[in-house]
Amino acid sequence: MGEKLGACEVLLRSLSRRTIPKRRSEGRGAFMTVLRIILGDQLSDELATLTDLDPEHDIVLMMEVEQESTYVRHHKQKIVLVLSAMRHFAASLRERGVTVDYVRLDAPENTGRFTTEVQRAVVRHRPHRIVMTEPSEWRVQALVEGWAALMGIPVEVRADDRFFASRARFAAWARGRRSWRMEHFYREMRREHGILIEGDQPAGGEWNYDQANRKSLPAGTVLPDRPRFLPDAITREVMALVEQRFGEHFGELENFGWPVSRADALRALDDFMDDCLPSFGDYQDAMKAGESFLFHSLLAPALNLGLLSPREVCRAAEAAWRAGRAPLNAVEGFVRQILGWREYVRGVYWTLMPDYADRNALQATRKLPAFYWTGETPMNCLREAIGSTARYAYSHHIQRLMVTGNFALLAGLAPAEIERWYLAVYADAFEWVEMPNTLGMAVFADGGQMASKPYAASGAYIDRMSDFCDACAYDVKQKSGPKACPFNYLYWAFLIRQKDRLSGNARLAMPYRTLGSWPQERKAAILAEADTFLDQLDVNE
């Protein structure tokens, strides 16, 4: 992680020896040039970096650096999305008369790293200071912390006020609490921001409509057409570049259809509000073969890049309810994801990093099976989730949590291995949101900091919430034997193996009571069957 400052210093010295070009100011009177850095997920007009921008004198620096595309081998669609959205944002700034120094990935002199690119820009423009907004990821923040000393000018890092809760606000909430339950944080956020609140009580009288939001999809349900945004000339140029530079990365490019500009993102938001929000709650947890999107919003990439603000998205959902265009269970369920989960995981990330990355409470060590990359497995649920991931750089939350995540948990995959996978494969994957979801929610690596129990489930859950089992090589009803659904014996083997760590958890009392009533031989047979299955996976790597 991170660049070696020693190497950067060498480069800075060598750059300083070159002839320094004249500043734009020279000959036009003295003024203070501010270099304003905008990172790839800071594509918002209201970004703190830009609030006091002086278009006459300031320079905005945007950098496409190779290191950001390769520190994990991101899905090709993710790289195209970020670079195309950056190029569109730069174009919109230029239209407003802002001077943008944009370093393209394929510029011959591009050094491929943030620190050395900022150094080169400092030599080019001789700014008096640098202004930027706090990076969203710890890895980049660690770089930025060295810049003032390295560049010899002040670097002002502003809080990212695009979120509902600042890092300090979350830390204040978490301080002194034994458990950090999302529900408690979410209720405070609802009150603090007045979203779905009447007086000081929740709209409709309940804080949580989750009970109404666990339906499977009835056969014959007509799903809405989803807008996919056809690549324009800018996106097509980036696609060619990505295919040429990162052709061996995971995923298909031909289905690229993500919004890459604010205008497209607003269209996607409108479309979701009209066609999907009313059913979002009911089928939030449902899965269906051949259908990747159902009623989900597909807005995470636009939100995470800054093309949409969480405030406007939550307000739009609330307005739809108040206008009678969507029921409360749907709107509350949707707002909970953004005002609740999204803010909460960011708080967890910034409060617990960098140690959080190394958590492994269940001591899981297995390597990632090859099928996570190829989708080649007889388990239909995994094939569906991974197939959608390759095609669209997307699978929805329940596929991530209860299919690929559940398998990783039950199979004992090393948290760092599965965490790198999630970071690589989704268009919306940014470490601040991906890591707590993976370590805290999917594989319980934080030992219960986030979740009150592991999200472990047998095949019965997947069967109830999907039609995947109908076309599977395995039989979800069988508990053992060559045709038995692997999730069934893996589930019990997981509980047996983790008995010392988990049997004291009140929410697991029921399955542990069941296990306690089984004879030793039955438990030994389950462990043996699970081991045989898992050992074959390793052979396939």
For 189-209, b where at least 16 C-beta lie within 10 A, e where not — what string?
bbeebebbeeeeebbeeebbb
Beta strands at 197-198 and 155-158: parallel, antiparallel or unpaired = unpaired
Q: Which helix (H) or strand (E) holds 500?
A: helix 499-502
Q: For residues 234 and 260, which CB has a smaller minimum distance to ligand FAD in the complex?
A: 260
Q: How far is the CB of 284 from ligand FAD (least distance, A)?
A: 7
**433 binds, options ligand FAD, ligand SF4, none, Cβ within 5 to 8 A by partner type:** ligand FAD
Q: For residues 258 and 491, which CB has a smaller minimum distance to ligand SF4 in the complex?
A: 491
Q: How far apart are the C-alpha atoms of 515 and 522, rounded to whole Å?
A: 10
Interacting span for ligand FAD (CB under 6 A) from 61-69, 167-175, 425-433, 501-509: 425-433
Q: For residues 168 and 473, which CB has a smaller minimum distance to ligand SF4 in the complex?
A: 473
Q: How far is the CB of 460 from ligand SF4 (least distance, A)?
A: 8
Asked if 488 interacts with ligand FAD (CB under 6 A), we say: no
Q: How far is the CB of 282 from ligand FAD (least distance, A)?
A: 13
**336 binds, options ligand SF4, ligand FAD, none, Cβ within 5 to 8 A by partner type:** none
Which of 405, 412, 415, 454 lies at the binding interface for ligand FAD (CB under 6 A)?
A: 405
82, HSE (Cβ side, Cα atoms, 13 Å)? 27
Residue 413 near residue 443, CB atoms below 8 Å: yes
What's the gap between Cα 160 and its chain centre?
Answer: 17
Q: For residues 91 and 473, which CB has a smaller minimum distance to ligand SF4 in the complex?
A: 473
Q: For residues 434 and 446, which CB has a smaller minimum distance to ligand FAD in the complex?
A: 434
Q: How far is the CB of 481 from ligand SF4 (least distance, A)?
A: 13
Q: How far is the CB of 81 from ligand SF4 (least distance, A)?
A: 30
Residues 367-396 as x/- pattern, contact with ligand FAD by CB under 6 A: -----------------------------x
Asked if 400 interacts with ligand FAD (CB under 6 A), we say: yes
What's the gap between Cα 447 and its chain centre?
Answer: 21
Q: How far is the CB of 539 from ligand SF4 (least distance, A)?
A: 19
Q: For residues 260 and 472, which CB has a smaller minimum distance to ligand SF4 in the complex?
A: 472
What's the gap between Cα 15 and its chain centre?
Answer: 37
What are the residues facing 36 on neighbouring strands? 60, 131
11, HSE (Cβ side, Cα atoms, 13 Å)? 23
Asked if 397 interacts with ligand FAD (CB under 6 A), we say: yes
What are the residues facing 37 on neighbouring strands? 61
Which of 433, 450, 456, 495 lies at the binding interface for ligand FAD (CB under 6 A)?
A: 433
Which of 53, 79, 381, 401 lies at the binding interface for ligand FAD (CB under 6 A)?
A: 401
Interacting span for ligand FAD (CB under 6 A) from 125-133, 140-148, 364-372, 428-436: 428-436
Residue 424 near residue 73, CB atoms below 8 Å: yes
Q: For residues 500 and 535, which CB has a smaller minimum distance to ligand SF4 in the complex?
A: 535
**427 binds, options ligand SF4, ligand FAD, none, Cβ within 5 to 8 A by partner type:** none
Residues 276-315 as x/- pattern, contact with ligand FAD by CB under 6 A: --------------------xxxxx--xx-----------
Torsion of CA 459, 410, 537, 480, to 10 degrees: -40
CA distances from 473 to 373, 378, 408 (A): 20, 6, 20
Q: How far apart are the C-alpha atoms of 200 and 323, rounded to whole Å?
A: 21
Residues in 360-419 at the binding interface with ligand SF4, rule: CB under 6 A: 379-381
Q: How far apart are the C-alpha atoms of 471 and 474, rounded to whole Å?
A: 9
**495 binds, options ligand FAD, ligand SF4, none, Cβ within 5 to 8 A by partner type:** none
And the tokens for 129? 């200071």
Residues in 89-148 at the binding interface with ligand FAD, rule: CB under 6 A: none
Q: How far apart are the C-alpha atoms of 229 and 268, rounded to whole Å?
A: 9
Q: How far is the CB of 459 from ligand FAD (least distance, A)?
A: 19
CA distances from 470 to 49, 109, 284, 383, 487 (A): 53, 55, 21, 13, 15
Asked if 345 interacts with ligand FAD (CB under 6 A), we say: yes
Q: How far apart are the C-alpha atoms of 179 and 158, rounded to whole Å?
A: 30
Which of 393, 429, 445, 472 lies at the binding interface for ligand FAD (CB under 6 A)?
A: 429
The strand order across the sheet containing 34-37 reads 99-103, 59-63, 34-37, 129-133, 155-158
Residues in 457-476 at the binding interface with ligand SF4, rule: CB under 6 A: 459, 462-463, 468-469, 472, 474, 476
Q: How far apart are the C-alpha atoms of 13 and 7, rounded to whole Å?
A: 10
Beta strands at 34-37 and 129-133: parallel, antiparallel or unpaired = parallel
Q: How far is the CB of 541 from ligand FAD (least distance, A)?
A: 21
Asked if 427 interacts with ligand FAD (CB under 6 A), we say: no
Nearest to 247 by CA among 127, 76, 96, 421: 76
How many residues of this chain bind ligand SF4 (CB under 6 A)? 14
DSSP per position, 439-485: IIIIS-TTTTSS-SS-----HHHHHHH-SGGGG-SSBTT--SSTTB-
Number of helical H runs and strand E runs in the chain = 26, 7
**337 binds, options ligand FAD, ligand SF4, none, Cβ within 5 to 8 A by partner type:** ligand FAD
Which of 132, 144, 189, 338 lies at the binding interface for ligand FAD (CB under 6 A)?
A: 338
Residues in 477-506 at the binding interface with ligand SF4, rule: CB under 6 A: 485-487
**Residues within the interface to ligand SF4 (CB under 6 A):** 379-381, 459, 462-463, 468-469, 472, 474, 476, 485-487
**Residues within the interface to ligand FAD (CB under 6 A):** 296-300, 303-304, 337-338, 341-342, 345, 396-397, 400-401, 405, 422, 426, 428-430, 433-434, 437-438, 441-442
